[in-house]
Amino acid sequence: MLNETTAQVLDLLLAKTRVSGEDIAFKLGLSRTAVWKNIEVLRRMGYQIASLPGQGYSITAAPDIPLPQEVRRYLEPSHLPWQVEYMPQCTSTNTLLKQRAIQGAPEGLVLVTDHQTAGRGRRGREWQDAPGNSLLFSALLRPSLPPAALLPLTLIMGVAVGDALMSLGVLCQLKWPNDILVGEAKICGILTEISGEIDHTDFAVVGVGINIRSRPELAEYGATSVDEHVVPPVRAQLLAAVLGEIARRYGEFLAGGRRDILKRWESMSATLHRTVVVHTPSGDITGTAIGVNCEGALLVSTADGQDVVVNTGEVSLRHRKHE
Ligand code: BTN
């Protein structure tokens, strides 16, 4: 995280192609030495900053760090007031954002980090990363709908993140409820956590982990990364693209457009028309996945001719060659 003064110096540098040390000192009420020290902090973070005598400072290259200043450069205007906070390291962005939500943080707060020491996946699993190799963030939503109406939200977030990856050229598919795959390999996981009472939602935290750069463990887990498919953009740009899609789909959902989004989910699905085994709390269900209903539940047609509605569970896809 940048201290306030360094962040202000960065804002001034990003606002213009060139800015003099004198201007920065005047605008921020700093000495020229203090300006220089803050420029050095930015350089140590990886910013390349040219300084020409008499002409001032200009940024010639930026590091791949999803700082709020960098994300703002790529964010399209949207109805959600995104406010990004970056931490080099934290326990889990979902855990921290839930704490902030309980303390009253507003809708649109986003926590993003380079590394989690206690990253969490679905069903109590760990989510491990190697520092700087993933995009790891959580976004806070405060929908004015009861929790039961939010069941499709997790699928809708899969559509949003999947479409952002598609826009980069990553040909991904969705596995129910919301894993994102390329072929059979997982490229992204989403953990949506909702807090509230039966008739009122306090908040929803949407946590997203996208593998950006490959590392040996990914293959061991049957996972893949963005750089195995396209040249990855900087993480600030990817985060802005994903937040843009989340805002768009969330707005459509609140305006009653869930049917169309779930149609999109079906068209991006790796699960449909395949033989699946769904591991549910009440046992395994084997059959062909035939669709999702309005609540986001998976519909499975079993060999004995029944259509089963699956609200919760873990899907194993049978290999296509066995089908
Ligand atoms: C899964 O596939 O099981 C979901 C993984 C979700 C991981 C992301 S990384 C950012 C956010 N913080 C967490 O602790 N988890 C989510």
Please say if the pLDDT value at position 321 is more than 50.
no
Question: Could you tell me if the CB of 116 is within 6 A of ligand 1?
Answer: yes
Give the model's pLDDT for residue 320.
Answer: 57
Best mutation site among 100, 134, 135, 136 for ligand 1 pocket (most ligand atoms within 8 Å of CB): 136
* Ligand 1 centre distance from Cα of residue 52 (Å): 45
Number of H helices, E strands in the chain: 9, 14
- Residue 197 CA, chain-centre distance (Å), reads 26
Give the model's pLDDT for residue 82.
Answer: 97
* Mean pLDDT, rounded, for 154-163: 96
Q: Which two tokens stand for residue 176?
A: 């129910």
Question: Could you tell me if the CB of 127 is within 6 A of ligand 1?
Answer: yes
CA distance 249 to 212: 23
Question: Could you tell me if the CB of 115 is within 6 A of ligand 1?
Answer: no
> Do 261 and 252 contact (CB within 8 A), yes or no?
yes
Please say if the pLDDT value at position 323 is more than 80.
no
- Residue 296 CA, chain-centre distance (Å), reads 20
> Do 247 and 81 contact (CB within 8 A), yes or no?
no
* Ligand 1 centre distance from Cα of residue 140 (Å): 14
Cα Rg of the chain, angstroms = 22
The percentage of the chain sitting over the pLDDT mark of 90, rounded to a whole number, equals 85
Per DSSP, 122 falls in state G
Best mutation site among 95, 99, 117, 120 for ligand 1 pocket (most ligand atoms within 8 Å of CB): 120
CA distance 91 to 111: 12
